[in-house]
Structure 1
């Protein structure tokens, strides 16, 4: 049997939060308010089929903001090496328990959950935080229409980043 490829038109909405704070102040504020999720701990809970322990762990690392950092990557040093005067850091942010409200409808939820966040500052410019508007992103997934998670992420997660920028 051969593979079948489908193309779906995909428009999004970019949310940009601008800040007078420096890149380093904004990333410090983000990393102070969001704990880091440990993938090795997740693997351990999965290996022991310990759902209760996993949920307790997620709730611990997602307190008080409801969200945590799953992964991060410094992009600025490589850009500066290439002569581009920018600081930039990429994060994947979310909550594994909240994400169930998307994954129960489609495994393709992994394309937008956790949410991609980019914090950047070009030399001499304001710092900006950019992320996809989750409701716009998931509106292209007919299966996720019954989910209230995209709206929750748009209101509560955006607030976390607005607070970090303020």
Structure 2
């Protein structure tokens, strides 16, 4: 062979790794996370913890009503553990009241979420409101059974009252 100049060996450069590739091997990896990645990860963890706290702290109520035959008939079940509207005939209504208290030094934003087959029947007077520090309030939930309500059908669901800390 003829004398050819030798080309020095140059290592190949690896393409930059994405954030998720770096997180995947975070505990066993040799290269540390960058500052902006640490900040993003910290914000995600704080958001998860905040969401977890708000969800666990929510007041959860089972809501139920049964449609009965007849006119103007109402059967009420007094209970404080659930929003039980009892037995209602078509064209009648019932009201349930829930007491809220904020014993913390910061205001709370109250958000109400209704689910299930009863959700469209329940009306509440207020939603998305601030509960000032060290105060109590009440929310009225009213249910009107329309004339189209099926006899002997039970409408049920859940009502969640989220109290979210409101810093401003």
Give the TM bin, normalised by the shorter chain: under 0.3
TM-score by length of 2: 0.26
Give the TM-score taking structure 1 as reference length: 0.26
Higher RCO, 1 vs 2 (CA within 8 Å, ≥6 residues apart): 1
Bigger share in strand: 2
Greater CA radius of gyration, 1 or 2? Answer: 2
